[in-house]
Amino acid sequence: MQYQFGTEDEFEALSDDRLVVTPTSRVTGDATPIELKLTDSMRFRFLPKLVNNHKDPAKSVEGKLVFERKRKADEGFPSDCEQESERISRRNVKTGDWLELSLDTSETFALFTGLGQLYQLYESVGIPYVPTEYVGVDSASSQVLSLLKNDPSAVRLLAEDNIFELVKTLLRLVTQSESVDALSDTLKSLEEDNIQRLSTTLNVEQLERAAEEFRSSLDNSEEEYWQKSLFGKYPWILSQLFASPLVLHGEKAYVGGKLLSNRGGNICDFIYRNRMTNNVCLIEIKTPLTELVGIPYRQTYSLSTELSGAVNQVLNYRDQLMKSYHSLVGDGGDRFEAFFPKCAIVIGRVDRLSGPAAIAAFETFRNSLNGVTIITYDELLQRTADLIAILQSDAT
């Protein structure tokens, strides 16, 4: 029998064999009792304990054989009662006496099978750090795994839905495991091509999930959602705004500007930091429904109040940050630099502009700015889609 991490529901269809190991120390753990025989009035079982036996690692199981009787009307067996009941053990056997516990063929086979599972379990995973349930994979599943390992082309024998259901379940179980080191060691044993395909697939999946959530939220007019729920969850989306390698440095970050009365402080939505130079970038977030241009003006359009206000707002943040830099750094926290920081504004959507004249007015304005990048939500989504396409082409 082979064992994997898992919850009861996830492997219910594979096997009814379950083992729970509860660590009692760094080197020992109590395991689920092996039931040899059970009736309304009699219970015979083996209480196993896994032992990290450094002197003889092959001998990793010890335990107790417990045989007990009760009246049918009793709620539990003697060993279940809180009060200490009369117990007969090897210590009670006096010189000249003997203690006999006979096992019939069914009981002997149950003990043999249970011990075999325990030895295999210990050899595979050792003693867990927390109480853990292990679920057995039946012989048919074991044979399938062996077949696929020895002949990967045999995967065509399985229906596609079954393949990916198995993969999904195994990935869920592996990533829920407490043994991160064991998972890392397993990945190291894979060939380079396997690692590359796995990494690309996982990256594409994460990007596609983010893109789908992004796309379905384009009509959301709440700044709080975009600041906390979307960009807070996927901060790498905003790192695409600049060519430099960036990492999120802070959200709703104070950049200075308070008066002596402790009022009037400036709070920037996001601050990103260059991984190499530690210089920061300031990002201001509006919503996809924020208007980009205002009313027509002769052959062009005026800018919207929201867009011009956002530009002045982020420029003010930069000015206050540079003026307050020494006091901010003196307050402690992560080290950063403020060498005329770049600024960015995420605002509006190109597809909401009324026509070529409105698009031209918007493009002319943002391209004339120095040190301030303006990008719309649909453009940012397209960048994410382009990144997905690149990764998918690399995977083929």
- Chunked into runs of 10 residues, the chain (396 residues) has average pLDDT values of 39 53 89 92 93 89 91 84 70 84 91 90 82 65 56 52 58 55 62 68 81 92 89 84 60 49 59 84 91 90 94 89 76 70 92 92 93 92 88 68
pTM, to two decimals: 0.52
Q: 300-306 contacts: CB < 8 A, separation 24 or more?
A: 300/357, 300/360, 300/361, 300/364, 301/357, 301/358, 301/361, 301/362, 302/361, 303/361, 303/362, 303/365, 306/347
pLDDT at 137: 54
Q: Where in the chain is the domain with CATH 3.40.1350?
A: 214-395
Residue 338's CB: how many other CB atoms inside 10 A? 20
Find the DSSP H helices in the chain. 105-125, 139-150, 160-175, 180-188, 192-216, 223-224, 236-239, 305-330, 356-367, 377-395
Quick one: which of 383, 382, 385, 375 has its CA closest to 285?
A: 375
- Give 214-395's CATH code, choosing from 1.10.287, 3.40.1350, 1.10.3470, 1.10.10: 3.40.1350
Which residues neighbour 375 within 8 Å (Cβ) at sequence distance 6 or greater?
A: 241, 344, 345, 346, 347
